[in-house]
């Protein structure tokens, strides 16, 4: 199911919603998706991952033109950037890296996680 074009993901994970944006390598917004609250310190890891999955699957569906169910056998993305509410320490980042890497079928080297205060792009 690999896409013929390089796709990049930006996700803003906040206390009220999750906003995902897929762009191409020229920086053009290809699609958007949304999900429920995703401050992982408030909602917990399971609800956090569910909200992210919902938002990213919706954005990828529109980007590739077919239903997407994460995780996929091969990544549809070249890289992903997450701004996550409640992610305020290296320990938080370390806790989120493995499940997000697995969900997106993306290597850790192509996954960036930061606090959501720097992620107003997706919102």
**Are the C-beta atoms of 20 and 54 separated by less than 8 Å?**
no
CA distance 80 to 109: 10
Give first-to-last CA distance, the chain, whole Å. Answer: 27
Q: 2 lies in a domain?
A: no
Domain at 39, CATH number = 3.30.420.40
Q: 1 lies in a domain?
A: no
Beta strand ranges found along the chain (DSSP E) = 7-13, 18-24, 29-35, 79-84, 111-115
CA 25 to chain centroid, in Å, comes to 17
Q: 71 lies in a domain?
A: yes
pLDDT digits (tens, 9 = 90+) for 20-39: 999 999 999 999 999 999 99
Furthest CA-CA distance within the chain: 38
| Enclosing domain of residue 76 | 7-118
The pLDDT of residue 5: 79
Tokens in use for 46?
């399971």
pLDDT digits (tens, 9 = 90+) for 34-88: 999 999 899 999 999 999 999 999 999 999 999 999 999 888 999 999 999 988 8
Q: 68 lies in a domain?
A: yes
The pLDDT of residue 1: 46
Tokens in use for 60?
């990828």
Number of domains present in the structure of the chain: 1
pLDDT digits (tens, 9 = 90+) for 89-120: 999 999 999 999 999 999 999 999 998 776 55
């Amino acid at each position: 199911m690999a896409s013929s074009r390089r796709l990049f993901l930006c996700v803003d994970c906040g206390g009220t919603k999750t906003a995902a944006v897929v762009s191409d390598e020229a920086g053009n917004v290809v699609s958007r998706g949304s999900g429920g609250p995703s401050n992982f310190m408030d909602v917990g890891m399971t609800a956090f991952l569910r909200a992210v999955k919902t938002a990213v699957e919706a954005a990828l569906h529109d980007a590739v033109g077919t239903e997407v169910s994460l995780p996929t056998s091969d990544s549809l993305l070249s890289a992903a950037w997450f701004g996550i509410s409640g992610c305020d320490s290296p320990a938080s980042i370390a806790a989120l890296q493995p499940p997000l890497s697995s969900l997106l079928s993306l290597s850790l080297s192509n996954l960036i996680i930061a606090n959501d205060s720097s992620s107003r792009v997706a919102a």
